[in-house]
Amino acid sequence: MAPVYKLTYFPVKALAEPTRFLLKYGGLEFEDERFEREQWPQIKPTMPFGQVPVLSAKGKQYHQSIAMARFFAKQVKLVGSDEWEDLEIDSMVDTVNDLRQKIAVYSYEQDAAIKESRKGPLMNETLPYYLERLDKIAKENNGHLACGKLTWADFYFVALLDYLNYMTESDLTAKYENLEAVKNNVLSIPAIKEWVETRPKSDL
């Protein structure tokens, strides 16, 4: 009997969305638990490291969004065909995650003056640096981020895009045709297309 999965997160896409994409792609049933923000102070102490997303399965809680994405990627066969390919995929996922963190340092800054001072370097240096390199990799890999084929690295990037775009108030891939191809290659998959159309709506 297949285990039952519950994914607990805020009522947004952000860091849970890569796992949701993978579950939908694999046709894996799961409870998509979204709590109201006001409930977070009560829920936080019940989470393994005080953070979400958390995956509940086999009577246990599993945490860390990338760890759970990798776990499901294995189930739905979006991993590499050997360790060498998995290394390439992991490297790309962690690179996208680095980019997310650099954007988040700007986006979540409370002090308006400091936030403003971070905007220039982010928009003019960091984003082009990463996007140009990612675009080049996407070109070399036929519209994918690794191994020349569809892998969970593509899912991770595309599922996170709305969140990254929200934080930067821009459309990050609009000027990069190979990254647009990565995006379209994922969004055109029937299971993903249907999920995007029917999922609960949120800004990030």
Partner 1 sequence: MSQPNYKLIYFNARGRAEHIRFIFAYAGIEYQDERIPREKWPELKKRMPFGIVPVLEIDGRRVDQSNAIARYLANKYGLAGKDEWEAMQCDALVDALGDLKQVLWQLRTEQDPIKKEERKAKLMRETIPYYLSKFEKIVSENNGLSVGSGITWCDFVFAVSLENFEAIFGKSSLDYYPAMKSLKNRIYALPSIAEWVARRPHTES
Asked if 98 touches partner 1 (CB under 8 A), the answer is yes
In the complex, the smallest distance separating the C-beta of residue 71 from partner 1, rounded to whole angstroms, is: 4
Q: Find the binder of partner 1 among 46, 91, 124, 184 (CB under 8 A).
A: 91
Closest to 122 in 3D by CA, of 168, 55, 190 = 168
**Options 8-16, 36-44, 81-89, 167-175: segment touching partner 1 (CB under 8 A):** 81-89
Radius of gyration of the chain (CA): 17
Name the 3-class secondary structure at 87: helix
Polymer length in residues for the chain: 204
Q: Which residue type does 81 have?
A: S
Asked if 130 touches partner 1 (CB under 8 A), the answer is yes
Span 2-21, contacts to partner 1 by CB under 8 A? none
Asked if 40 touches partner 1 (CB under 8 A), the answer is no
CA 91 to CA 97: how far, in whole Å? Answer: 10
**Would you state the torsion angle of the CA atoms of residues 197, 198, 200, 201, taken in this order, to the nearest 10 degrees?**
20
Asked if 88 touches partner 1 (CB under 8 A), the answer is yes
Asked if 148 touches partner 1 (CB under 8 A), the answer is no
Let me know: does 5 contact 56? Beta carbons within 8 Å.
yes
**Would you state the torsion angle of the CA atoms of residues 64, 69, 72, 77, taken in this order, to the nearest 10 degrees?**
-150
Span 46-75, contacts to partner 1 by CB under 8 A? 48-51, 58, 62-64, 66-68, 70-71, 74
Asked if 87 touches partner 1 (CB under 8 A), the answer is yes
For every residue of 116-138, DSSP letters joined together read HHHHHHIIIIIHHHHHHHHHHHH
Phi and psi (nearest 5°) for 146? -160, 150
In the complex, the smallest distance separating the C-beta of residue 18 from partner 1, rounded to whole angstroms, is: 14
The residue (of 115 and 199) whose beta carbon lies closer to partner 1 is: 115
Asked if 110 touches partner 1 (CB under 8 A), the answer is no
List contacts with partner 1 (CB under 8 A). 48-51, 58, 62-64, 66-68, 70-71, 74, 83-84, 86-88, 90-91, 93-95, 98, 101, 129-130, 133
